[in-house]
A and B are shown apart, each in its own frame.
Chain A
Amino acid sequence: MNDRERIDADSLAVATLTVMLTQSFHAVLLGSLWVGETAAWIAMLISGLGALLFYWPVARQIAARRGGNLLDVAADAAGAPGEILTGVLFGAFSLHHCGLILRQTAEMAVSTVYPHTPQTFAMGTVAVCSVYCAYGGLPAAVRAARLFLPVFAFSLLLILVGALGWADFDYLFPVWGPGIPRVLAGTPLLMVWLWPMLATFYLAPDQVREPRSLPKQAAIAILVTTLAYALQKVELLMVIPWPQGRSNLFPLHQLTRLVTGGRFFERIESVWVFLWTFGTAMHVGLLLHLSARAFAQSFRMPSFRPALVPLSVLLLTVALFPHDVAESITMDMSKAPAGLAIIFIWPLLLAGVAAWRRRRRASGEA
């Protein structure tokens, strides 16, 4: 890969931030309400900070190998089997995540503003856009994200400010919801909501121009995302309080329904369909690209693009697999322990072993 095809670390951080914000519209964040109840925003904050703690040592190991990524660390730690296993685990998990996101977007479109559109058609449309994004590669995704972020962030802010009139501060109490032990016990599983961001920071450093500055940019992106999600949760709890909010499939969509500015500025939820679709295409596109790259690197394929064809079929299969949106959310929640192991425990283990082997090698050479 020549230097022109590489991307800046801050551009990658911005792209992941965009992708994470698009997740706001999906039901994947419902878990924080189930875990934290009225303390969902605290659970969100703790999980974000916890994720950062896990990420940092791994990021340092990746940054130490200039031009490498997590798969290279895995190769250092456990040889080719370790690299293949890591690539397959990350690729498969990303694919599963993308499938569920795709399904939830289609469900949301059909349940809200497009009741007569066949779901498979909605899903197929978003899938085609996603594969197109994935085919364009990381530089294309980053450029698109840079263009999309201001529009998306402004729209999100508009929803939150527009619905503020319905908020009641009292609904945030009791502060600790089900109790500190239960919140803390559930928080590790919540850390998996950062999967798209961490997967990018683990798998994409080999495409970054100055990989040494990536950990810092990534840490800022993780903190900003955590803060943005926590603030979202605060407002959601104040407008659609626990326990009403626990059964709300598309809370941000409901906020858009509550936005009113007199008799002229209301019923604007359809405007956001464009953002859901484009945001999902970007979200799924980036992860599908990373998934294809992980498989390609693991199996020594010269290019990631041929892998996109079978992966897109698998993507649609995963999306169609759940019986309904409730099952897709349940699948999302139930895969959290596996996600925790893959995105946090396994890379930490690899980084530890790789660091130990490097130190041993260095002392041997000395």
Chain B
Amino acid sequence: MKRRLAVLLLLSLLITGCWDRTELEDRAYVMLLGIDTGETSSLAVTAMLALTPSLTPSIMGGIVQPGRRMASALMTVEAETVTQAMQILNGMTSRRVDLRQVRAALFGEALARQGIAEVVSELIRSPDARETMLVSLAQGRAETVLRTIKPVSEINPARMVEGIGMQAKYLHLAPPVRLHQFATRMSVGGIDPVLPVLAVNTNPLGDGGEAPAPSAGPGELKRVSENPIDFVGTAIFRGDELTGTLTIDETQMLLALRGEMGKAYFSVFDPVQTSRQASLRLHQENLPQYRTAMIGNRPAVTVRILFEGEVLASPTGIDYSQEADRKRLERSIATYTERTIQQLVGKLTVWEADPVGFGLKFRRQFSTTPAWDAFSWPDRVSTMAVKVTVDARVRRYGLILAPIRAHPTER
């Protein structure tokens, strides 16, 4: 028997056919997919195709062309479905358009406001498109973002989008979201999905515009760069429909409420010199503690969050390792984060969206689905009362305790 099995296994290596072979030379791989509302059809689909004939592999996993020119081409077509768009694209290329290498999909704002369940469902149904692809919202049109994007430290725009998606996992300027996670949170009652936002920057340095806000939203970063695309902020959905966007600080607090913040960089106004800011790295050590109750017909949530901080910059020259100043800073962090969370909750109740998953905490208290459905959580989000207590503790000060001061000089 063992000998027969061994022969069968060996044979299976020798008799591999070429029935389902996929030749690289015959394929046009889509790396990024932009999906917008169309003018004549339901969708306008923009595909960023890898120009495989002139590609050479780079060490960092990106795909570059000699001479550092773009290794991709953009094509936009209008269609009723993504599949139909791929069919039309097939009629425009000599290679077969293939979705198996899609790194990220961008949904246009107008489409997201209408609802993206149908498109998400189509992508999930497809055996080619991966559930692990990153998904984002494009502020404005996805096509515009894809045509504007100019990678700075990458050659390949798809690698760039994937890279900033991965970076979001550590820096929390925007939440990294995969297609599977979006589909799951869209279909489960008690939580709403979110997307990171890609936006064309409208607030460049030196244009004499407004002073930088303490926390920027999508497209509002005060900066100069070759790449005009910002990858900050969060798009909030109610079911599958876009309701609004959050700033960086609100994004970080949203992740903190979900227990997903990990470590994030943060700046708060100095408690003594209120015009200057101190920069810290906040670390969420424990999961937030929730208590839920019904006060009359109103759902009430009490959340307790613990942050541990590390001082990274103290431009005011205050030595925060001294107990009195440290406690002042801790109070300042707690006050600022509590206020940001209340501001976030205020937005969510207006939008009637629950990206935190407060509903999931209530759902645990129901023993059956019909009872939970009768509770009608989406209708109660707007009446929800959330009380937040933040406990901030500054524990580390980088490599020096007190700021280094310059020698006093007489002028």
Q: Is the CB of B1 within 8 A of A174?
A: no
Q: Does B322 contact A (CB under 8 A)?
A: no
Q: Is the CB of A254 within 8 A of B131?
A: yes
Q: Is the CB of B132 within 8 A of A257?
A: yes
Tell which of B48-56, B139-147, B332-340, B358-366 binds the partner.
Answer: B358-366
> Closest B-chain residue to A244, C-beta based?
B187
Q: Is the CB of B127 within 8 A of A241?
A: no
B372 CB contacts on chain A under 8 angstroms: 174
Least CB distance from B159 to A in Å reads 11
Can you list 24 residue pairs at the A/B interface with Cβ under 8 Å? Answer: A38-B369, A113-B20, A115-B20, A116-B19, A117-B19, A117-B20, A147-B1, A168-B184, A170-B361, A171-B188, A173-B364, A174-B363, A174-B367, A174-B368, A174-B369, A174-B371, A175-B367, A176-B367, A178-B368, A178-B369, A179-B368, A180-B368, A244-B187, A257-B130
Q: A143-B1, A258-B180 are in contact. Are A174 and B360 (CB under 8 A)?
A: no
Q: Does B157 contact A (CB under 8 A)?
A: no
B366 CB contacts on chain A under 8 angstroms: 173-174
B1 CB contacts on chain A under 8 angstroms: 140, 143-144, 147
Q: Is the CB of B367 within 8 A of A170?
A: no
Q: Does A218 contact B (CB under 8 A)?
A: no
Least CB distance from B130 to A in Å reads 7
Q: A143-B1, A173-B363 are in contact. Are A260 and B132 (CB under 8 A)?
A: yes
Q: Does A263 contact B (CB under 8 A)?
A: yes
Which residues of chain B from 261 to 283 have any CB-CB distance to chain A below 8 Å in the complex? none
Q: Which of A111, A168, A173 has the most CB of B within 10 A?
A: A173
B130 CB contacts on chain A under 8 angstroms: 257, 267
B88-124 vs A, CB cutoff 8 Å, 1 = contact: the mask equals: 0000000000000000000000000000000000000
Q: Is the CB of B132 within 8 A of A178?
A: no
> Closest A-chain residue to B364, C-beta based?
A173
Interface residues of B (CB under 8 A from A): 1-2, 5, 12, 19-20, 61, 127, 130-132, 180-181, 183-184, 187-188, 190-191, 357, 360-361, 363-364, 366-372
Least CB distance from A221 to B in Å reads 22
Q: In the bound complex, what is the Cα–Cα distance between A170 and B368 (angstroms)? A: 14
A267 CB contacts on chain B under 8 angstroms: 130
Q: A241-B187, A263-B61, A274-B12 are in contact. Are A147 and B5 (CB under 8 A)?
A: yes
Least CB distance from B185 to A in Å reads 9
Interface residues of A (CB under 8 A from B): 37-38, 111-117, 140, 143-144, 147, 166, 168, 170-171, 173-180, 240-244, 254, 257-258, 260, 263, 266-267, 274
B5 CB contacts on chain A under 8 angstroms: 144, 147
Q: Is the CB of A258 within 8 A of B2?
A: no
Q: Is the CB of B187 within 8 A of A177?
A: no
Q: In the bound complex, what is the Cα–Cα distance between A258 and B366 (angstroms)? A: 30
A178 CB contacts on chain B under 8 angstroms: 368-370
Q: In the bound complex, what is the Cα–Cα distance between A173 and B366 (angstroms)? A: 8
Q: Is the CB of A244 within 8 A of B188?
A: yes
Task: List the 10 closest A-B pairs by CB distance, nearest first.
Answer: A170-B360, A244-B187, A179-B368, A174-B366, A173-B364, A176-B367, A143-B1, A176-B368, A173-B363, A116-B20
> Closest A-chain residue to B371, C-beta based?
A174
A179 CB contacts on chain B under 8 angstroms: 368-370
B127 CB contacts on chain A under 8 angstroms: 111-113, 115
> Closest B-chain residue to A181, C-beta based?
B368
A257 CB contacts on chain B under 8 angstroms: 130-132
Q: Is the CB of A240 within 8 A of B184?
A: yes
Q: Is the CB of A166 within 8 A of B180?
A: yes
Q: Is the CB of A173 within 8 A of B20?
A: no
Q: In the bound complex, what is the Cα–Cα distance between A105 and B105 (angstroms)? A: 31
> Closest B-chain residue to A175, C-beta based?
B367
> Closest B-chain residue to A163, C-beta based?
B180
> Besides A114-B20, A117-B20, A179-B370, 10 other CB < 8 A contacts?
A115-B20, A143-B1, A144-B1, A147-B5, A166-B181, A168-B184, A174-B364, A174-B371, A174-B372, A257-B132
A111 CB contacts on chain B under 8 angstroms: 127
> Closest A-chain residue to B127, C-beta based?
A112
Q: Is the CB of A173 within 8 A of B360?
A: yes
Q: In the bound complex, what is the Cα–Cα distance between A170 and B190 (angstroms)? A: 10
Q: In the bound complex, what is the Cα–Cα distance between A231 and B130 (angstroms)? A: 26
B363 CB contacts on chain A under 8 angstroms: 170, 173-174
Q: In the bound complex, what is the Cα–Cα distance between A178 and B130 (angstroms)? A: 32
Q: In the bound complex, what is the Cα–Cα distance between A140 and B1 (angstroms)? A: 8
Q: In the bound complex, what is the Cα–Cα distance between A37 and B373 (angstroms)? A: 14
Q: In the bound complex, what is the Cα–Cα distance between A113 and B20 (angstroms)? A: 9
B20 CB contacts on chain A under 8 angstroms: 113-117
Q: In the bound complex, what is the Cα–Cα distance between A37 and B188 (angstroms)? A: 12
Least CB distance from A110 to B in Å reads 10
Least CB distance from B114 to A in Å reads 21
Q: Which of B132, B183, B372 has the most CB of A within 10 A?
A: B132
Q: In the bound complex, what is the Cα–Cα distance between A244 and B183 (angstroms)? A: 8
Q: In the bound complex, what is the Cα–Cα distance between A241 and B180 (angstroms)? A: 11
Q: In the bound complex, what is the Cα–Cα distance between A133 and B357 (angstroms)? A: 51
A115 CB contacts on chain B under 8 angstroms: 20, 127
> Closest B-chain residue to A238, C-beta based?
B184
Q: In the bound complex, what is the Cα–Cα distance between A144 and B3 (angstroms)? A: 12
A114 CB contacts on chain B under 8 angstroms: 19-20
Q: In the bound complex, what is the Cα–Cα distance between A257 and B124 (angstroms)? A: 11
Q: Is the CB of A170 within 8 A of B369?
A: no
A274 CB contacts on chain B under 8 angstroms: 12
Q: Which of B190, B361, B368 has the most CB of A within 10 A?
A: B368
A258 CB contacts on chain B under 8 angstroms: 131-132, 180
Least CB distance from A177 to B in Å reads 6
Q: Is the CB of B131 within 8 A of A147?
A: no
Q: Is the CB of B371 within 8 A of A147?
A: no
B371 CB contacts on chain A under 8 angstroms: 174
Q: Is the CB of B132 within 8 A of A241?
A: no
Q: In the bound complex, what is the Cα–Cα distance between A240 and B185 (angstroms)? A: 10
Q: In the bound complex, what is the Cα–Cα distance between A254 and B126 (angstroms)? A: 11
> Closest B-chain residue to A37, C-beta based?
B369
Least CB distance from B302 to A in Å reads 18
Of the residues B184, B361, B364, contact of A241 by C-beta under 8 Å? B184
Q: A174-B367, A174-B368 are in contact. Are A241 and B188 (CB under 8 A)?
A: yes
Q: In the bound complex, what is the Cα–Cα distance between A246 and B19 (angstroms)? A: 33
Q: In the bound complex, what is the Cα–Cα distance between A235 and B361 (angstroms)? A: 19
Least CB distance from A170 to B in Å reads 4
Q: In the bound complex, what is the Cα–Cα distance between A111 and B181 (angstroms)? A: 23
Q: In the bound complex, what is the Cα–Cα distance between A332 and B367 (angstroms)? A: 30
